[in-house]
Structure 1
Amino acid sequence: MKLTQIKYKALAAAFVLASVVTASCSKDAPNEDTVATDDVVTDDTPPAFDINSITDTYYDMAPVANIYQWGYRNVHDPSIIKNGNTYYCYSTDVAFGAEVQPGIQVRTSTDLIQWNFLGWVFPELPAMGKAFIQSKGGAPFNALWAPYVTKVGSEYRLYYSLSSPTPRLSVIGLATATTPLGPWTEKGLVVTSLADASIQTNAIDPTVIVDQSGKHWMYYGSAWDGIYMLQLNPSTGLAMSSGDKGIRVAQRGSTGNSINGNIEGPEIVYNAQFNKYYLFIAYDWLQTKYNVRVGRSDSAEGPFLDYAGNDINNDLDDSPMILAPYKFNGHSGWQGVSHCSVFKDDASQYYMAHQGRPGENSFFMDLHVRPVYWTEDGWPIVSPERYAGVAQTAIASADLVGNYEQIILGYQVVPGYSAEQTDPNFQTSVSLKLDAGGTINGDANNTWSYTAPWLTLTWGGTWVDKLHVERGRDWENKIESTILLSGLNNAGTAIWGKKVQ
């Protein structure tokens, strides 16, 4: 077995990726002389899935010998699509302390909780992407990153990222299939980037949308010159104009002469309820401060505006930040919570999938899936807890009375990348009490009111938090159902809450 050690996204990350040989197995053939008897009982029914088997870390499960039991484990940069009753998840070739073959990992689920590892899209690096990098004097990493999957007509289109140790020598390629599980056929390279003096972003991290007029657009990019938008040919899924790189639609702010951190991993969705396009973007270093920002537009071509009405293509750090490293009581916290996939089920309930890295050890990568809700004025918010299929029974005002842990998703600017952003900047919980008389924390200056599903917290007549109320699992305390709060205040800061009785 040939081992190849690489760095993730051409920066100093601690993943080891390599080839692995997988072997099939089967039950032994029964002995023809064996005679069945009535008192021999066999039961091949698999044990019922236990949600408590989902753990933050998985030292014992990490070896490649367990790869088909990985499930939610070792998921980075997910892209999720639903077909029939099944969700399909495609993700980066990476694992904790294990050597994995390149090819884009594939998982399935019918409930967004229990995931099954099925294999890979490709048996090896795609020939077209590999050949391009080699033709420019580079050697591709032995891994594919950040796939994106979509369906156009009866065709599934899967976009992959292939990069190299040579800075910005990268490609985004396209493969197609008639089913979510392939077989997949390479169709060409959509966009490339070179290690030269040109102004361009790195050609990785694609996401695609068909706008309301029928035009196809790809958004992509990591670091360098921000997030780009490129028009695609609807018939082929490749660039409308060969060699086109697109134009920039989003960038980061600076502190002095230093960029405030990375910008990458876009995701684009259209919400018909508000007739707007939403561009979700990953900020900062993927192992620690990784967080999710969002801008919205009336057009897929932008401009995308932040909560304050600023064009996110300006030299600013934009809000709202709707997901960031956080820590509830009694838990090591979750960091690296970005590069998201946003999708919806048949009932038009939106979800956000992303990696989560436990504070205990930031090299583990767990798949998190969270419900997404929308404020009354059309901004996405995400649940403070992962989806667990909890029944959404009615919640009355009396049910809200009690003690909570509250998290305010603040942010500290730390310009730089892996070397500078070693601290995840966890946002930690504080105590919050909703009193029976409508006050907060026993203070008559702070009040609450409730019109389902929205809870309004008013702080001294200045700050107003508008929070969506739901039932959900308390993952930190393994409580099957509690009350969860998520929303924005009047400054666009995300506010979370979890009832702890």
Structure 2
Amino acid sequence: MKSLKRGLTLLLLVALLIPATGYAQENTASGITRVEFAAWINQVFQYINEGEWNFRDQDVNESPLSELRKAVAAGNMQGYGDGTLRPYQTNVSVHDPSVIKDASTYYVFGSHIDAAKSADLQNWTKFTNGYTTPGNVIYGDLSENLADSFKWAGEDDADSKGGYAVWAPDVIWNKYYKNPDGTTGAFMQYYSASSTYIRSAIGFAVSRNIEGPYLYGDTVVFSGFTLHDARDDNSTVNKKWTQTHLPELIEAGLLNGENPEWFKSTGEYNNTIYPNAIDATLFFDKEGKLWMTYGSWSGGIFLLELDPETGLPKYPGQDGVTEDGRLIDRYFGVKIAGGFTKSGEGPYIFYDPSTDYYYLNVTYGWLGADGGYNMRQFRASSPTGPYLDASGQNAVLTDQNTANDLIGIKMMGNFLFKQEIGETGPEDGYGYVSPGHNSVFYDEAAGKYFLLFHTRFPERGEAHELRVHQMFMNKDGWLVTAPGRYSGETAAAVKEASISGDYKFVNHGLSYSGAVTESVSITLEKDKKITGDLEGSWSLEGGYDAEIVVNGEAYHGVFVQGWDPLQQQNTLTFTAVSAKGETIWGIKQPDITDQQAVRAVEQALSLGDTSRVTDHLQLPVKGVRGTKIEWVSSDPSVISDTGVISPPDPGEEPLIAELTAVITKGAFSAAKKFQVRVIPLDLNEGLVAHYAFEGDLSDSTDNYEHGKVTGPLIDEQNGNGNIAFSKGVTGNAAVFDGESGIRLPDGLISGNEYSVSLWVYPKEHNQFSTTFFGAQSKSSWISLVPDSWNNHTMLWSGEAWYDGSTGSRIRTKDWHHLAFIVNEGSVKVFVNGEQKYTGKGFPDIFKDQSGIFTLGVNWWDHPFEGKMDELRIYNTSLTDALVKRLSQEASFEEEEGKAELAAKFLFEHDLADHAGNFGSGEIIGSQLASP
């Protein structure tokens, strides 16, 4: 524990502070434990590490936090129940999470056979082992158990070649299910097995234990079948419809024959009208009927009634239409959303007895970090629909020309509550990208709705985590989502006098793309007006209902206390939705004066190291609460008022000038000066190795030994490998034959600041073939890959699976300059001198000089085929200008050859360029200028 002196000091301070702070009031009649007292002190002094507190009478498994919550629940301590307790939260990665509660434990089940559990929706623990088999936690012998589904899709086939694709399960307790042993009641897990964007199957497995193992029951829906014999690439599966269970259903009289509309005129599956059989979720309606909704992109979202005793669908048997004109298919069921290959997946339906509505959540967009994934909400008075949004629009699209961006309440999309200069807290801000594929849970005991979903994060690549946000019913009967993740808050009456103040504000809008919506600053004035970056009014209705009017549009929602990760404290927030379907969020900021704002900006304002400037400076013009920053240069011939430099020529002396920042807010101002030293561009500064491949594998800096030729894998040295030389970007280049690589000297990179630059000429693309590869071990590595898992050129890392995607794939049979810069967790990736990716959180791989480095080979993948030239490795962070200069050193002439396909947009299930050379298209408004 702490020293006696510090302990006595803390006790004295607590005794003095607690009566004034309102953090807690002891119920002296009941008393508190030592653990509770430690947690109490923790709140006053904001110690983050609970492990600092140890008591001899405390069990090793006890948590001060959990003990404190018990004391709050028992009424022994007051003041924490409104959410002022510092949250303790742990994270897991479960994609496409589906929630269920068993006894006192919450569970989420997700894609790739991942699952986690929690006692409080804040701290999660995984208990699964992914695709491991045999011995799979959920399915035992995975391949054997789900063999019937895998005959159609999902195991070592097409897109799942070499592995499995078991996606987006939903688990439900069905008390009516009849088990083979005659008992009733089971946990039923409906999973998706998928091999392509349309060839998939939904099956179910059952267990009496929620954590498994689950035993296969049946496969209930197939998609992607064809009229005639056909096979996909890398597949032996015959896709003809007779290879599914459809003939059995027809023979049993459950279907009135096959439907000719299932097929296009070519005999292919008609995925414009009919669904991709994935993303199943189940629910009981108010009459006790069991339903399954499912679908992804393709023909939209469908609904089937299930027999609760067997878990099998009650197929309609006959085709038809609903009263409002929606499709009813004899096999797939009734269409309730989407269609015409527009985005829309991960459907989830739940019933709310207070409004007597069924709510449908669907996710639009593509799940990648650049895909604009976003959640939408509809509702209906019947489980079969029609499902409408706040403006009365039907979730089912009417034709191919109907865009879906204006349809559905947008619950959440890409956002970032930015940190302004002068604010404390995480400098990266707080935000999500591509949040989606949600499930919903209503906790009857707590009277709370929760939204559970996965999300990626700004500048963190494809890494994703589970998030839980509380939802609240607004006065119009729509659920609105809290701006922050759940931290124990409860909606309660708000004092009107506490509402006025400055807020960070986000409008999620309706359109979606890879762009991130950043927060702006507004003030809710005491006279009920809204000023700042936006204008409007606000009002408090009842205990906590909010009406926010911004630019003439009314939004209805709630005011609620919530934890702000930027301020690291609880604060007032609001969330509301308009009749157009736009969601707005606000997070209240601490009160500060204009003078305090100016001082805060003055103290925080920095330009980094300005002693060796080789690139234009990004000069900020705004600080906390709208503080203005204006710049004046003492010598515009060296650096302009906007940060544009004019560097000296190589060999000349550095140039020096002074930049003055004038900081102003209201009647207060301050000035801060920066000396800027502009130096010549020097391509050799920080250069530790340079392999020019002028007929050999030597390092021209003489810092390292020659490279060595390998076979097709790293460890196959001095084998049958062969590296030749031919014309490159300057002189010769190394030629890789697709069966060989180069082992570079160990230790080329050490530390967490370095840059790599090289020229690449891929002759052919082989997915995951590496150009530059570095590793500390087989589980800790980086790889610069021309063609990665998403058909994009990418800086890939096996340490926490970091994806630095450039958004497109470099073309074959053409020279490209690639570079990446790592600086203490920040990373940039460049293609032909242009920055294509920037992110944070890049892993620190090379902690010492034992790293292994290669060109063209790794331990697993097909070797690179093509050429490489002018590999340079630096122990510093290159500037953008230096990368640009390196990309301009080429002296080669473009090779002439036959015309090749540049782009191929199929519009079958996404907006991707299937040639892989460009990024995906983005959905915009009705005009090009409309975002």
* TM-score bracket, shorter-length normalisation: 0.7 to 0.9
Distance in structure 1 (CA, Å) of the matches to 2:533 and 2:194: 56
* CA displacement, residues 20-42 of structure 1 (integer Å, 9 cap, x when unaligned): xxxxxxxxxxxxxxxxxxxx999
Of residues 540, 548, 555 in structure 2, which corresponds to 1:465?
555
The residue number in structure 2 matching 1:78 is 97
Distance in structure 2 (CA, Å) of the matches to 1:459 and 1:150: 42
Amino acid at match of 1:456: E
The residue number in structure 1 matching 2:331 is 244
Shift of 1:483: 0.9
SS at match of 1:353: strand
- Alignment pair present for 1:344 and 2:344: no
The residue number in structure 1 matching 2:295 is 221
The residue number in structure 2 matching 1:400 is 499
Shift of 1:478: 5.0
Q: Would the aligned equivalents of 2:391 and 2:579 in 1 still touch at CA under 8 Å?
A: no
Mapping 1:145-184, distance limit 5 Å? 145-153=167-175, 154-164=185-195, 166-184=196-214
The residue number in structure 2 matching 1:298 is 381
Shift of 1:381: 1.2
Cα pair distance change 1:379/1:390, threshold 3 Å? closer
- Alignment pair present for 1:309 and 2:392: yes
Segments of structure 1 that go 5 or more residues without pairing to the other structure are: 1-39, 55-70, 94-103, 254-258, 414-422
Shift of 1:473: 0.6
Mapping 1:8-27, distance limit 5 Å? none
Distance in structure 1 (CA, Å) of the matches to 2:122 and 2:514: 26
The residue number in structure 1 matching 2:45 is none
- Alignment pair present for 1:88 and 2:88: no
Shift of 1:392: 5.2
Shift of 1:170: 1.1
* CA displacement, residues 66-118 of structure 1 (integer Å, 9 cap, x when unaligned): xxxxx63221100111122110111112xxxxxxxxxx222111110001111
**What RMSD over aligned residues (CA atoms) do the two structures have, in Å?**
2.8
Shift of 1:250: 0.9
Q: Would the aligned equivalents of 1:278 and 1:296 in 2 still touch at CA under 8 Å?
A: yes
SS at match of 2:487: coil
Shift of 1:479: 1.8
Of residues 200, 203, 208 in structure 1, which corresponds to 2:277?
203
* CA displacement, residues 186-225 of structure 1 (integer Å, 9 cap, x when unaligned): 1111211124223321111001112222322111011111
Cα pair distance change 1:53/1:123, threshold 3 Å? farther
Quick one: percent identity of the two aligned structures? 30
Distance in structure 1 (CA, Å) of the matches to 2:572 and 2:518: 18
Distance in structure 1 (CA, Å) of the matches to 2:277 and 2:546: 43
- Alignment pair present for 1:189 and 2:280: no
Shift of 1:443: 11
How does the TM-score come out when normalised to structure 2? 0.43
SS at match of 2:142: coil
- Alignment pair present for 1:106 and 2:204: no
Distance in structure 1 (CA, Å) of the matches to 2:567 and 2:467: 16
Q: Would the aligned equivalents of 1:390 and 1:481 in 2 still touch at CA under 8 Å?
A: no
Distance in structure 2 (CA, Å) of the matches to 1:167 and 1:491: 32
Q: Would the aligned equivalents of 1:148 and 1:159 in 2 still touch at CA under 8 Å?
A: yes
> Structure 1 residues 173-182 or 366-375, which shifts more?
173-182
Amino acid at match of 1:214: G
SS at match of 2:451: strand
SS at match of 1:340: strand
Distance in structure 1 (CA, Å) of the matches to 2:518 and 2:353: 35
Shift of 1:52: 7.3
The residue number in structure 1 matching 2:138 is 121
Q: Would the aligned equivalents of 2:299 and 2:339 in 1 still touch at CA under 8 Å?
A: no
Cα pair distance change 1:408/1:124, threshold 3 Å? farther
Shift of 1:356: 1.3
Distance in structure 1 (CA, Å) of the matches to 2:150 and 2:94: 26
The residue number in structure 2 matching 1:26 is none
Cα pair distance change 1:248/1:214, threshold 3 Å? same
Amino acid at match of 2:389: D
- Alignment pair present for 1:454 and 2:473: no
Segments of structure 2 that go 5 or more residues without pairing to the other structure are: 1-55, 67-85, 129-136, 176-184, 227-267, 318-329, 420-428, 591-931
* CA displacement, residues 435-482 of structure 1 (integer Å, 9 cap, x when unaligned): 12222217998332212211222346x32222311111112x152311
Amino acid at match of 1:399: S
Distance in structure 2 (CA, Å) of the matches to 1:481 and 1:89: 27
* CA displacement, residues 136-166 of structure 1 (integer Å, 9 cap, x when unaligned): 89744313210101111132111111111x4
Distance in structure 1 (CA, Å) of the matches to 2:314 and 2:94: 32
Q: Would the aligned equivalents of 1:339 and 1:355 in 2 still touch at CA under 8 Å?
A: yes
Cα pair distance change 1:290/1:157, threshold 3 Å? same
Of residues 589, 604, 628 in structure 2, which corresponds to 1:500?
589
Of residues 431, 437, 461 in structure 2, which corresponds to 1:333?
431
Distance in structure 1 (CA, Å) of the matches to 2:288 and 2:567: 46
> Structure 1 residues 238-247 or 374-383, which shifts more?
238-247
Cα pair distance change 1:44/1:444, threshold 3 Å? closer
Q: Would the aligned equivalents of 1:81 and 1:150 in 2 still touch at CA under 8 Å?
A: yes
Q: Which has the larger radius of gyration?
A: 2
Q: Would the aligned equivalents of 1:435 and 1:442 in 2 still touch at CA under 8 Å?
A: no
* CA displacement, residues 229-250 of structure 1 (integer Å, 9 cap, x when unaligned): 1121121112124993223211
Of residues 146, 163, 166 in structure 2, which corresponds to 1:144?
166
Cα pair distance change 1:136/1:398, threshold 3 Å? closer
Q: Would the aligned equivalents of 1:371 and 1:387 in 2 still touch at CA under 8 Å?
A: yes
Cα pair distance change 1:467/1:136, threshold 3 Å? closer
Aligned length, in residue pairs: 418
Amino acid at match of 1:82: K
Shift of 1:309: 1.2
Mapping 1:218-297, distance limit 5 Å? 218-241=292-315, 244-251=331-338, 261-287=342-368, 288-297=371-380
SS at match of 2:574: strand
Amino acid at match of 1:78: P
Q: Which has the higher helix share?
A: 2
SS at match of 1:336: strand
Distance in structure 2 (CA, Å) of the matches to 1:277 and 1:43: 46
Q: Would the aligned equivalents of 2:92 and 2:126 in 1 still touch at CA under 8 Å?
A: no
Cα pair distance change 1:245/1:471, threshold 3 Å? same
Of residues 383, 404, 411 in structure 1, which corresponds to 2:482?
383
Of residues 307, 310, 320 in structure 1, which corresponds to 2:409?
320
Cα pair distance change 1:43/1:453, threshold 3 Å? closer
Distance in structure 2 (CA, Å) of the matches to 1:137 and 1:111: 34
* CA displacement, residues 307-344 of structure 1 (integer Å, 9 cap, x when unaligned): 22122112342121111111101326311201001111
More contact order relative to length (CA 8 Å, sep ≥ 6): 1
Q: Would the aligned equivalents of 1:325 and 1:335 in 2 still touch at CA under 8 Å?
A: yes
Q: Would the aligned equivalents of 2:298 and 2:339 in 1 still touch at CA under 8 Å?
A: no
Distance in structure 1 (CA, Å) of the matches to 2:353 and 2:280: 22
Cα pair distance change 1:53/1:274, threshold 3 Å? closer
Distance in structure 1 (CA, Å) of the matches to 2:101 and 2:124: 13
Of residues 368, 373, 388 in structure 1, which corresponds to 2:472?
373
Distance in structure 1 (CA, Å) of the matches to 2:468 and 2:481: 10
Q: Would the aligned equivalents of 1:78 and 1:89 in 2 still touch at CA under 8 Å?
A: yes
- Alignment pair present for 1:429 and 2:500: no
Q: Would the aligned equivalents of 1:128 and 1:189 in 2 still touch at CA under 8 Å?
A: no
Cα pair distance change 1:114/1:479, threshold 3 Å? same
Of residues 567, 577, 580 in structure 2, which corresponds to 1:491?
580
Q: Would the aligned equivalents of 2:349 and 2:359 in 1 still touch at CA under 8 Å?
A: yes
